[in-house]
Amino acid sequence: MTLSKITNWLAPERTVAQSLLLFVVRLYWGWQFFQTGKGKLAHLANVGEYFQSLGIPLPHAAATFTGLMECAGGILLLLGLVSRLTAIPLTLILVVAYCTASAEAVKNIFSNPEQFFAADPFLFLYAVILILAFGPGKFSIDWILRNKMAPGSDGNNGGGK
């Protein structure tokens, strides 16, 4: 077995199972982001007051931005369109959520990791970090566009990053 065969076996470019997992993550968490953002937009005054109680600057503007980004970001994740770019502001929103609403969990990440993992933002953050790190997978509009736009591509180059 050659070194290249070994490295391809140990770290394949993208498997169907990886793409399927990323697809499921995008569908589920995209929908969750959409629903959460829609809820924030439906109750902007309450969310703004809550953000104000957390000490977030410009709380009503932050509530509007967060609701819009979660709604739009959720739809984009569902579609697999500009997924990695979408994951960046969603990650930032979730880091702010952790540092404000779940500050105690962040402070105790090493002494009480269960508290960190149980905090509301954890699974949302985990999902967007997966998409940021690995991309949306083959079952996405991003993958289709990448393969259509690649020079000399026949649409079957096995990429998907």
Output the pLDDT for position 129. Answer: 97
According to the model, what pLDDT value does residue 69 have? 98
pLDDT at residue 13, rounded to an integer: 67
* pTM for the whole structure: 0.83
User: In sequence order, which residues have a C-beta less than 8 Å from that of residue 100 and are 6 or more positions away?
Assistant: 54, 55, 56
Rounded mean pLDDT for each run of 10 residues along the chain, 161 residues in total: 66 79 97 98 98 96 98 97 96 96 93 94 96 93 86 52 47
Q: How many CA atoms, within 13 angstroms, populate the side-chain half-sphere of residue 147?
A: 15
Map out the domains of the chain as residue ranges.
Answer: 17-149
pLDDT at 41 (0 to 100) = 98
Q: Which two tokens stand for residue 139?
A: 């079952």
Q: Using CA atoms in the order 51, 71, 77, 147, what is the torsion angle rounded to 10 degrees? A: -120
pLDDT score at 7: 57
Question: Within 13 Å and on the Cβ side, how many CA atoms surround 46?
Answer: 5
- What is the C-alpha to C-alpha distance for residues 44 and 59, in angstroms, rounded to an integer? 10
